[in-house]
Amino acid sequence: MKKITTFENKKVLVLGLAKSGMAAARLLFKLGALVTVNDFKAFDENPEAQELLEEGIKVVTGGHPVELLDEDFELMVKNPGIRYDNPMVVRAQELGLSVLTEIELAYLVSEAPIIGITGTNGKTTTTTLIGALLKAGGQSPQLAGNIGFPASTVATTAHRTDTIVMETSSFQLMGIDQFHPKIAVITNIYSTHLDYHGTQANYEAAKWNLQKNMTSDDVLILNFNQDKMKDYAKKTNASVLAFSTREVTDGAYVLDGEIYFKNQHLMATKALSLPGEHNIENALAAICVAKRCGVSNDKIISVLTTFEGVRHRLQYLGLAKGRRAYNDTEATNIEATKKALTGFDHQKLWLFIGGLDRGNGFEALEASIKDVKGLVISGETTPKLVAIAKKYDIPYLVSDYVEDGMEKVFPLTKEGDTLLLSPACASWGQYTRAEERGDRFIAAFEKMK
């Protein structure tokens, strides 16, 4: 960890706890800051706040009192889940305070170079795959960020010979200043999180922040399957490597079912261990990083043909009485589900779909689901999805949760069928988070075994 004096004796307010808030508070305290943590959860129900208090850090819990900002703070470090229209954040900005997220702290103290990955879909799989490729190449990757390992914690222990492979969200990237990855990947940009960002333009601007401090010595990897990425490529100071499944690029691409990097053949797409067109894109992005980092072709091929994927992202669950199942609970938008569906025989596919109603329709999904064997529909979006099922005469059933959906649909399946949870919707309202939905789907399928 770099020894920096930036925060010594500065009054810093950490707004919101969870993993990133805990990590930020501890790092700032270690760097000599005068830290106050403010978390909405009551102290008696807040073990994180209790821990920090025992460590000597001031905590204010049970709400977000705006008057707390009268204490002349010099900086706010915000949990990325707290929106910018929160009264505390609005007041901080009115007072001229910088409002950062903890990935900025990670960058400031990190001795290791950072590879940053963002995008609407594929971030976690691509991040994990890059880590696996670098490890196979004899390097020392440290996964961090939105993947579940607080970046500012990883950065305190990473050595200069390591590489931090950091998944970053739009929420985190809105709160950066000097953050500067040596290699950056934008897997794709679709429409999502508009309830947080307000407009698509704001969302895309947050993603684009990833490269704002990059120079010509750095590499930005973009998905040329999207025309907007070709436009973005003209607006960065970084050197651009492109990937595409549709055209030859100066990077990684697919031609006649074969994967190439800069005209050098690597392998057939059908040899990839993960199903779906989106996982071909993820693999191409990861190949660009691996080649830039000097990983050999044979190591790349070995990893891509054996990689088992990430929990909750097209996770293969095995067989139950001849039926296969995949858990893709993190497919919380239409594009993610469309891409998942490209990897399966629809005539043998039962799709678990539905969840939180964010006000959108499902017209963009109709062509992808109209020929599936059946739908298991749940959540607030049930009426919209039932209407589509009736429109195309798709067999369907309605369930409250994945467990009763599994119990209802399993007797209707046949040997060779596939059960896929890829809901195209967020989980809130039914479950505390998408991972809970996936865990319960896994448990339900295990019972069928």
Pinpoint the alpha helices (H) of 305-401: 334-341, 363-369, 382-391
**What's the start-to-end Cα distance of the chain, in Å?**
48
Phi/psi for 69 (5° steps) reads -75, -5
Provide the β-strand partners of residue 419: 325, 350
Taking alpha carbons only, the member of 342, 370, 392, 410 closest to residue 121 is 342
Count how many residues are written for the chain: 449
CA distances from 328 to 8, 111, 264, 269 (A): 45, 35, 33, 21
Please indicate if the annotation marks 101 as binding a ligand: no
Amino acid at site 256:
D
Per the CB < 8 A criterion, the answer to whether 396 and 418 are in contact is no
Query: Does 123 show up as a binding residue in the annotation?
Result: yes
125 labeled binding residue: yes
Asked whether residue 360 is marked as a ligand-binding residue, the answer is no
Q: From 320, 327, 310, select the one nearest 416 (Cα to Cα).
A: 320
Show the CA angle centred on residue 22, arms to residues 20 and 23, nearest 5°.
65
What is the spatial distance between Cα 44 and Cα 49, in angstroms, rounded to a whole number?
Answer: 9
In angstroms, rounded to a whole number, what is the distance separating the alpha carbons of residues 241 and 222?
Answer: 6
What is the rounded distance in angstroms from the CA atom of residue 377 to the CA atom of residue 396? 7
Count each helix (H run) and each strand (E run) in the chain, helices first.
17, 20
- Do the annotations mark residue 276 as ligand-binding? no
Do 123 and 215 contact (CB within 8 A), yes or no?
no
Strand ranges of the sheet holding 141-145, from the earlier edge strand across to the other edge: 141-145, 163-167, 114-118, 183-186, 219-223, 239-244, 251-255, 258-261, 264-268
Task: Measure the CA–CA gap between 403 and 443, rounded to whole angstroms.
Answer: 8
Residue numbers belonging to the annotated binding site: 119-125
Annotated binding site for ATP: 119-125
